[in-house]
Every structure is written in structure tokens, then in C-alpha cells.
């Protein structure tokens, strides 16, 4: 069984509310969806969320890369089991003309294509995508089967009234963990975090995300008044081009540091480990190059004594939500888990299934073949801003 066709779609997904943090303000997400067709007609779907300020990718740039890449040698390989599917995914080579010194310039595209393959072959095998995990050699030490997972929530930068309503809703909904966006110009973070802590309750695990907002010399000063609210982590406090400075600041900051914008690839991960710039990796399927890459990065973190979370990009559809669910229900010791916001954030669900998390952030593992979600193709073709088909033929 081999791939015969890939079709790429660029799809705008409007958000129910504005998402604001120190790096960007967003009211919609333009996502890349890939439809994979196997030689027996089986269809699989994948998704990527290109973010120029993270990996340098744009939605249109992903289409261009796909059209310029010779994927035939990989996609013409036949697969009858998961190790052979992994070999196909690992053989994918994307043509990236831009400066890509960090090895992340095709990550969203790779994620979308890889997930479409895992979904299609999973459906063909009659097995969920999570069944691939035991076949990834590097993942042996982190593999576990869990019947359910628990997601955390996020409070973005907004007015005091909106934050109070959000915090009280999250408290009533029973979340155990919450991330607060900090570092936005004009915001008094100590007052905000104090209010949110009071409203959300003392039993909720609070962590902070600065989205590269601070200079290295001010991080310890910024964190000093925030530590008293029992925060358990600060995510990406400085810009990527200043991230090496964190190695000498970790002790003075006083809480664990998580890298996000500075953790996109194995090169980033190895540098962080070598220099000692962080305590945790924020892994996102699209940002880090897909399901398999994130497994390997989590294994690398664990072997190096570091922790990891599985994050998400605002605006992910049910395809990436399902992929994240398969990943999270198969990996041990995830420090924080983000995702499956679907109906809470998107004005329309592109999938027939609604796999939004339930009360308390809890959600069951998915056990249907492939990803376990179905794209509403009529809706997709009506709303896609671009569509391009690539036929895979013997050369």
C-alpha cells in the first residue's frame, strides 16, 4: 500500500474571541490541511498551523514548499506495518530555500503531511494512530497507555472584568492547571496575577508565559513579585536571540524555565541541553515537526533530566486536537497538557466529531482507527482559500 495523492488546503478558521499575548494578537488562524489518499482509496488527514514568528513558515509558503519538494521517493514506498510507515515519514524531504539554520523551516508542513500518512495508514490497518508509538525506538522509555488525559487552561491578556469572568468559569469548571499570559505592554502583571490567583483559587497550578517579552537583565526583577503567587513555571521569558542568557539566570529567576519559541527542533533541544538554558520543553506537534519528532524530543528531554509539556497553537482544528490526544494518552510524565479547545475557541468545527475536553479538562483516549475524526469535506471546499492537488506517480 502506498500514497497516490496529496491535496493541500489553506483554511481560515475564525476564533470566537481575540487571543492576545506579548508576541501577537490573533482573531483567526489560517491552517494547512492535507488530504492523503492511499492506493486502495483510503483517506487520511493531517494539519499544520504555520506561524511566521515561530518557525518562519507562512501558509502560502507551505504550499510553495510542497509544490517544490520531490516527495515521490518517500511516498512511493509501500507500507504494510507501522515501522514501514515510520520509514516513509522519516524519508520525507522538503525543499526549503530560506535560511533554516535551526532546522525548523518546514515543521508545520511536515506535521501536516506526516499526520495525513499516519491517519491514512492507521485507518488501513484498523488501528489508532497511538499504535505507532511502541514502534518508535527512541520512545520506549516514555511510552505508556492511559485511558484518559487532563488538559489545562489559559488566561490571555485582557481587561480585569474579562479575566475575572474567565478565572471564575475555570474554577467552576474544575481545571487543575492554568497558564497566564504576561509581559504585554501596559499591563501590571503582579496585580493581574494576584487577582487571578484570588479568583481561580489557591488549589490551581498557575504558570506564566511571557512570549519573549522581557530582556535578560530584567527577568529576575519581573519574576520576583510573581513568585509569591505560587507559580510553577515561566515560559519563554526572553526572545530567542537572547535565550542563551538564561543559562546564568536560572537560579535567580527562582522557578523552572520552559522554552517554547526557542524549542522548535532537535538542534534547538541539543543546544538548550548543552548550555543549560531551561528545565522544560514546550512541544507542539506543528511547531516541532510532527508526531514522531515530538516523541523523540520528549525522549531526549527525559534522558537529559528535563521535563516537557505538550502544547498547542490557538486555532487548531479537531485534526490536531485528535493527534495531540493520541500523543498525550501514549506518553508518560507530561508536566502540562494543552489542546482540544475546539468548540470553546472555533466559531465552526471542521470535523464531524467534537472532541473538546470535558469537565475538569478531562478527555478520553481515542481508539478509533487513524486519528478518529472526519473532515467535513463539503464545508472545507466551500471555505478553503486555496486548494492544490499533487499526484504521486512512479518515476
pLDDT at site 20: 64
CA nearest 312: which of 332, 291, 283?
283
Q: CA–CA separation, 145 vs 314, rounded Å?
A: 27
Contact indicator for 388, 8 with CB cutoff of 8 Å: yes
Q: Give the residues of the chain that fall short of pLDDT 70.
A: 20-24, 394-395
Burial 289-303 (b: 16+ CB within 10 A, else e): bbbbbbbbbbbbbbe
Q: Any known ligand binding at 218?
A: no
- Annotated ligand binding at 209? The verdict is yes
SS (H, E, C) the chain: CCEEEEEEEEEEEEEEEEEECCCCEEEEEEEEEEEEEECCCCEEEEEECCCCCCCCCCHHHHHHHHHHCCCHHHHCCCCCCHHHHHHHHHHCCCCCCCCCCCCCCCHHHHHHHHHHHHHHHHHHHCCEHHHHHHHCHHHCCCECCCCEEECCEEECCCCHHHHHHHHHHHHHHCCCEEEEECCCCCCCHHHHHHHHHHHHCCCCEEEEECCCCECHHHHHHHHCCCHHHCCCCEECCECHHHHHHHHHHHHHHCCCEEECCCCCCHHHHHHHHHHCCCCEEEECCCCCCCHHHHHHHHHHHHHCCCEEEECCCCCCCHHHHHHHHHHHCCECCCCCECCCCHHHHECCCCECCCCCCCHHHEEECCCCCECCCCECHHHHHHHCCEEEEEECCCC
Closest CA to 58 of 109, 6, 112: 109
Cβ atoms of 297 and 281 closer than 8 Å: yes
What pLDDT score does 395 carry? 46
Residue 119 annotated as binding? no
Q: Domain 3-126+377-391's class?
A: alpha beta
Q: Model's pTM, two decimal places? A: 0.96
Q: Is 389 exposed, middle or buried (0-12, 13-18, 19+ CB in 10 A)?
A: exposed
Class of domain 137-364: alpha beta
Same fold: 3-126+377-391 with 137-364: no
12/155 Cα distance (integer angstroms): 23
Q: What is the pLDDT of residue 22?
A: 53
In 3D, which of 9, 67, 130 has the Cα closest to residue 376?
9
Cell numbers at 333, concatenated: 510524565
Domain ranges of the chain: 3-126+377-391, 137-364
Amino acid at each position: 500500500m502506498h500514497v497516490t495523492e496529496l491535496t493541500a488546503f489553506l483554511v481560515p478558521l475564525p476564533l470566537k474571541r481575540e487571543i492576545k499575548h506579548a508576541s501577537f494578537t490573533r482573531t483567526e488562524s489560517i491552517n494547512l490541511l492535507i488530504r492523503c489518499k492511499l492506493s486502495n482509496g483510503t483517506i487520511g488527514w493531517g494539519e499544520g498551523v504555520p506561524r511566521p514568528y515561530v518557525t518562519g513558515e507562512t501558509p502560502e509558503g507551505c504550499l510553495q514548499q510542497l509544490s517544490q519538494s520531490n516527495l515521490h521517493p518517500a511516498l512511493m514506498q509501500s507500507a504494510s506495518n507501522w515501522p514501514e510507515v515510520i520509514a516513509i515519514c522519516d524519508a520525507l524531504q522538503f525543499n526549503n530555500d530560506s535560511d533554516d539554520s535551526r532546522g525548523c523551516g518546514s515543521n508545520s508542513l511536515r506535521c501536516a503531511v506526516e499526520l495525513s500518512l499516519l491517519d491514512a495508514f492507521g485507518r488501513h490497518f484498523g488501528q489508532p494512530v497511538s499504535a505507532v508509538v511502541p514502534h518508535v525506538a527512541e520512545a520506549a522509555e516514555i511510552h505508556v497507555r492511559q485511558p484518559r488525559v487532563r488538559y489545562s487552561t489559559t488566561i490571555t491578556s485582557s481587561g480585569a472584568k474579562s479575566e475575572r469572568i474567565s478565572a471564575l468559569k475555570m474554577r467552576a469548571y474544575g481545571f487543575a492547571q492554568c497558564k497566564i499570559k504576561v509581559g504585554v505592554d501596559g499591563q501590571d502583571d503582579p496585580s493581574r496575577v494576584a487577582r487571578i490567583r484570588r479568583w481561580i483559587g489557591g488549589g490551581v497550578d498557575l504558570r506564566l508565559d511571557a512570549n519573549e517579552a522581557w530582556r535578560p537583565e530584567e527577568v529576575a526583577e519581573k519574576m520576583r513579585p510573581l513568585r509569591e503567587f505560587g507559580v510553577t513555571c515561566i515560559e519563554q521569558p526572553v526572545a530567542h536571540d537572547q535565550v542563551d542568557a538564561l543559562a546564568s539566570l536560572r537560579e535567580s529567576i527562582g522557578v523552572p524555565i520552559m522554552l517554547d519559541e526557542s524549542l522548535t527542533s532537535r538542534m534547538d533541544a541539543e543546544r538548550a541541553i548543552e548550555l543549560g538554558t531551561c528545565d522544560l520543553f514546550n512541544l507542539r506537534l506543528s511547531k516541532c515537526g510532527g508526531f514522531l519528532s515530538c516523541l523523540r524530543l520528549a525522549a531526549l528531554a527525559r534522558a537529559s533530566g528535563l521535563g516537557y509539556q505538550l502544547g498547542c497553537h490557538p486555532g487548531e482544528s479537531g485534526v490536531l486536537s485528535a493527534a495531540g490526544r493520541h500523543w498525550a494518552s501514549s506518553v508518560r510524565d507530561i508536566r502540562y497538557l494543552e489542546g482540544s479547545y475546539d468548540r470553546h475557541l472555533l466559531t465552526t468545527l471542521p470535523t464531524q466529531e467534537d472532541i473538546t475536553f470535558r469537565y475538569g479538562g478531562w478527555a478520553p483516549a481515542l481508539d478509533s482507527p487513524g486519528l478518529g475524526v472526519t473532515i467535513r469535506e463539503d464545508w472545507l471546499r466551500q471555505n478553503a482559500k486555496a486548494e492544490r492537488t499533487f499526484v504521486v506517480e512512479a518515476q
